[in-house]
Structure 1
Amino acid sequence: MTSANTLRAVIHTATADIPADVWNSLVPSTAGKPDNPFLDHAFFLALEQSGCADKRTGWQPQHILLQDDTGTPLGLMPMFLKSHSMGEYVFDHGWANAYQQAGGSYYPKLQCSVPFTPVTAPKLLVPGGDLEITAALLTAAQELALQRNASSVHATFVPEDQARLIEATGWLQRLDTQFHWHNDGYASFDDFLETLASRKRKAIRRERRDALADGLTVQWLTGADLREHHWDAFYEFYEDTGARKWGQPYLNRKFFSLLNQTMADRIVLMLAYDGPTPIAGAINFLGKDRLYGRNWGAVREVPFLHFELCYYQAIDFAIEHKLAVVEAGAQGEHKLARGYAPSTTYSNHWIAHAGLRRAIADYLEQERASVERQQEMLDQFTPFRKGERTDGHE
């Protein structure tokens, strides 16, 4: 174990300032490839170099790299100094409003997350999970917040074991719910459907049939099959949907080209075609044992096509490639009827001001109880036949 007085936190204001091999050496990996694609140095680099996550957009990189006195990297905490709360999927707008009404300044704040990505992944990147290094990263984050005059530090979509560890150091904990599909060794989509109640099984078959009733076809594209014209089409879909949801899409066209240059083998782009013309698409990312659904869009309204591209095609792909889980993004109770079960997500929050911290702690205690009650209720409405597994807790 490294002595505490030999540790040094270096703040990097760009992912490019940290060599890719150094960054990825600190990320949980298999055969040299990060288990979670969103932790890859290339993903952060594309976000920053495309201008999606930089100072101009309110995501100023402040990555904490922990080193020993020889310069050996020991731990990493991806961090951004933020001037707003957009693109996070763990909503603290109410906290910000309350603090500012009381005369405080909630922004800037520090955000430890993958921008625009509501996917659970380690946020304290410490090989072997050394507790001393982990604690040093948390301390460095708090000290950085004070140096930057930030009100708080937020680590969002943290694995449960890491969230519990962070909570034990005095950070607050928050719970939320996502919906994940679990592969119980199915041989086919029909094999999965047989585990559902008859009414739900028939409804899904009808949705799939209606989605492609007009002769639409779906293609899966990954690796060398991905071309710029595919991204041109997908970006048109994404831009149209993003503009309606957020007013302005978070990701720009350059981002997808950069990803295609460095991470094409971790991407599965699903496009729906009317003859030779693509009309809708969904982007997914490949992890070690799961598929992550992220963004979708369409230029034509087709009943149930959203469900087909984002949920059912993802299940088909996971079954064919023997992936254990499909994570279909944030929120969405409509996923429940389609075989996606409730799963708890965790985040941790360090609040500098004692009064604000007490108020948020009281709120979170009530919110956690509400989330737990809601999940118990949701578990009663999963579509599985009586006696089948009905919970999605991992």
Structure 2
Amino acid sequence: MTSPEISLEAVGSVSQIAAEEWDACAVAPLQPGASPGNSVCVPAASFNPFTSHAFFAALEASKSACARTGWGPRHLVARQEDSVVGIVPCYLKSHSQGEYVFDRGWADAYQRAGGRYYPKLQVSVPFTPATGPRLLIRAGVDAAEVGTALANGLIALCDVSKASSVHVTFAREAEWRFLAQQGFLQRTDQQFHWHNAGYRSFDDFLATLASRHRKAIKRERRDALVDGISIEALTGAAITEEAWDAFFEFYMDTGSRKWGRPYLTRAFYSEIGRTMSEHVLLVMAKRNGRFIAGAINFIGGDTLFGRHWGAIEHHPFLHFEVCYYQAIDFAIARGLATVEAGAQGEHKIARGYLPQTTYSAHYIADPALRRAVADYLKQERAYVAAAARELTEAGPFRKAADEPS
């Protein structure tokens, strides 16, 4: 029997897609293929808060991700018999900021050669370096068929938009392989994630570390809380507007020094507090009755995603306690499998976070630029793989010959 025809449309706002239609695709979506040549539908691991309608709606309604900030929504929607069967969250971009997969060198080289790199299409969650599904496909449909339609649709949208390229960043590995079959170039990078080996407590985790790392972490946790500092872990209704005010102050202070211009507006935090606070963990440090530092995390089905940190007082090791150790405590208590601590940071290795490969796929319209990028990516993938092996070997965990805990 012939499948009903799939139609494609690009819309200029997440608000043009009903939340129930979006989330039917985004919550536990199917993925086309786990390996090259394999079109078996593979369920995604679990709920990802960043692909929910509520998260994108907060970004766009708060004017954090909009045309004025260089993130013009062009969400690709696939319909079959009047039902939404697939979505690709996509933005037409005039710069390469807020992506965490860096292509500025490609842009500079292309522009020096007389090309025009911007605009480009970015398939991602704005300002969010967290792995998750990018081809959102509703359960119960032919994932390979819908996935192929979406991939072809992205290439067609690139042509219609007069964009130089399409960049699918922080995708799942199965999507990365599938998109390679559709003509996209493959890129890898690495982050540092903590994995829960069924620990019952933080001490259980510490027992798996070599002695010097175990002692260092105990010292860091102790020293972080001197001077009367206490920690509050807030989620759900416990996150008040007062807490958001304090956290936004931290975010603006740190973001201004780190990026020059922070990406997210104050309205964004109120909006996620209103619509998805049960999926937010706000770890706040308090001294003398006021908040002085904090980190925001998002709670997925099996993963805690660490995002931003900021502080208005600076104390030794407080960053490690608020961002890394409190996240591990929470993951153990909730039985979560993984903590993703965000982009970059080899200093995370000594604290139990090990290298994890991340994946992106890139369609380059110009054949000459495509060839140059393909050659570069081949070398880069080899470097990333070698670095991951070396860093994993240098990890803090006890080796077989080490002393017992």
- Alignment partner of 1:48 out of 54, 60, 74: 60
2:62 alignment partner AA: S
Residue equivalent to 2:82: 71
Residue equivalent to 2:249: 236
1:331 alignment partner AA: Q
1:366 alignment partner AA: Q
Distance 2:238 2:137 in 1: 35
**1:216-271 superposed Cα distances (whole Å, 9 cap, x missing partner):** 10001110111100000000001000000110101010100011110010000010
Distance 2:238 2:389 in 1: 43
* Offset, 1:127: 2.6
* Paired positions, count: 383
- Alignment partner of 2:170 out of 140, 149, 157: 157
Distance 1:35 1:122 in 2: 10
Where 1:8 maps in the other structure, the secondary structure is: strand
Residue equivalent to 1:7: 6
Residue equivalent to 1:108: 119
**1:104-128 superposed Cα distances (whole Å, 9 cap, x missing partner):** 0000000000000000001001134
Residue equivalent to 2:18: 19
1:66 alignment partner AA: A
Matches within 5 A, 1:262-341: 262-341=275-354
Where 2:341 maps in the other structure, the secondary structure is: strand
- Alignment partner of 1:255 out of 254, 260, 268: 268
Q: Does 1:358 align with 2:371?
A: yes
Gaps of 5+ in 2: 30-45
Where 2:342 maps in the other structure, the secondary structure is: strand
**1:163-221 superposed Cα distances (whole Å, 9 cap, x missing partner):** 11111222100000000001111111111000000000001111111111212100011
Identity across aligned pairs (percent)?
56
1:17 alignment partner AA: Q
1:49 alignment partner AA: A
Gaps of 5+ in 1: 389-394
Distance 1:186 1:74 in 2: 39
Distance 1:379 1:171 in 2: 29
Q: Does 1:123 align with 2:134?
A: yes
Where 1:270 maps in the other structure, the secondary structure is: strand
Where 1:361 maps in the other structure, the secondary structure is: helix
**1:250-293 superposed Cα distances (whole Å, 9 cap, x missing partner):** 10101000111100100000100003111000000000011000
* Offset, 1:29: 3.5
- Alignment partner of 2:106 out of 95, 101, 112: 95
Q: Say which is worse superposed, 70-79 or 325-334, in terms of deviation.
A: 70-79
Matches within 5 A, 1:376-391: 376-387=389-400
2:130 alignment partner AA: V
Q: Say which is worse superposed, 6-15 or 351-360, in terms of deviation.
A: 6-15
Where 1:10 maps in the other structure, the secondary structure is: strand
**1:298-329 superposed Cα distances (whole Å, 9 cap, x missing partner):** 00111111110000000011111111100000
2:374 alignment partner AA: A
Where 1:329 maps in the other structure, the secondary structure is: coil
Distance 2:400 2:298 in 1: 32
Q: Say which is worse superposed, 127-136 or 361-370, in terms of deviation.
A: 127-136
1:267 alignment partner AA: V
Residue equivalent to 2:38: none
2:211 alignment partner AA: S
Residue equivalent to 1:83: 94
TM-score by length of 2: 0.93
Distance 2:177 2:204 in 1: 37
* Offset, 1:7: 1.2
Residue equivalent to 1:392: none
Q: Does 1:370 align with 2:383?
A: yes
Distance 1:74 1:145 in 2: 21
* Offset, 1:55: 0.4
* Offset, 1:2: 6.1
Residue equivalent to 1:36: 48
* Offset, 1:333: 0.4
